[in-house]
Amino acid sequence: MHTARDSQKFCGREFTREEVSLIQEVVETCGGISRTELAHTVCELLDWKRANGGLKARECRDLLERLESQGALRLPAKKSSGSSTSRKKIAPAGDGQVHSALTGSVEAFTPLDVQLVESRQQRQLFKELVSRYHYLGYAMPYGARLQYLVYVTRPQREVVGCVQFSSPAWRMKARDQWIGWDDATRKDRLQHVVNNSRLLVLARISNLASMLLSCALRRLRTDWHRQYGLEPWLVETLVDRQRFYGGCYRAANWTVLGETSGRGRMDRGHQRHGAQVKTVLVYPLVKNAVRRLRDGG
């Protein structure tokens, strides 16, 4: 097992060598408890909390698994789902296949019903739809997240979209230069940026994408603040330029900032430069969003 590094940077926090050593000691001495219980223990010891006082247990589990991948510690085995049979793999849909047979103009189906994903049943439906119909599939996002299921209510109630918001990219040149961030200011105010990490439209209804995105954005500030105790000021998204133009974002007055280097949102080691270049777009949720992010609220 490797010794502790000098420090670790993760989800906007730098962990000192002493803190990493403490994490190793906790994992080694707290045998018999789950990964989730370990994450809660580490959060309490290091006072790693959200603005509303809640522990950053989800982020801490990701950190523990990163340290394990580096050989710094060994975590207990993941608990099984309780079923003796393996989980059924969700097969992706074929090109051009959609979930719903509804067609027409979105005005014929409004108002849309936007539901925050909270129950186990809702989470499973969201995961299944994104796994099957989104070209990137489903992946558990790093850090904080909110997910929405969007329904039409006529001619019958039916899900027509999925929207996910999650923690932002740690560093993104086009965004950071546009705001005017240096490293210290970005670290201090990045928590007021949210990433629209999934947008899935499940019916060939014209203008549905921009409509369901706008409906979700109207809820985002309140829901995010209730969940995490922080008010988001800016939403960002990354559009794969080889696949999409991003028309629904442009039509909704999102600002195009430029393109990524292709490294990926969490690639701080410059390992993937030039791969999967994406268009960076942003949308302010408050007045003077750039000034607040640069100078403070």
Q: pLDDT digits over 236-292, tens only? A: 999 998 888 888 999 888 999 999 877 554 444 444 444 578 999 999 999 999 999
CATH number, domain 103-295: 3.40.630.30
Distance of CA 227 to the CA centre of its chain: 14
Strand partners, 163: 148, 199
Q: Is 35 helix (H, G, I), strand (E, B) or coil?
A: helix
Q: Model confidence at 88, in pLDDT bands (50, 70, 90)?
A: low
Distance CA(204)–CA(88), nearest Å, equals: 28
Distance CA(189)–CA(178), nearest Å, equals: 14
The answer to whether 256 and 283 are in contact (CB under 8 A) is no
CB proximity list for 233: less than 8 A, separation 6 or greater: 192, 193, 284, 285, 286, 289, 292, 293, 297
Domains of the chain, by residue range, sit at 7-69, 103-295
Task: Check the CA dihedral 241-210-140-144 and report its sign.
Answer: positive
Q: pLDDT digits over 185-240, tens only? A: 998 899 899 999 999 999 999 999 999 999 999 999 999 999 988 899 999 999 99
Burial 155-179 (b: 16+ CB within 10 A, else e): eeebbbbbbbbbbbbbbbebbbebb
pLDDT exceeding 90 applies to what percent of the chain? Answer: 52
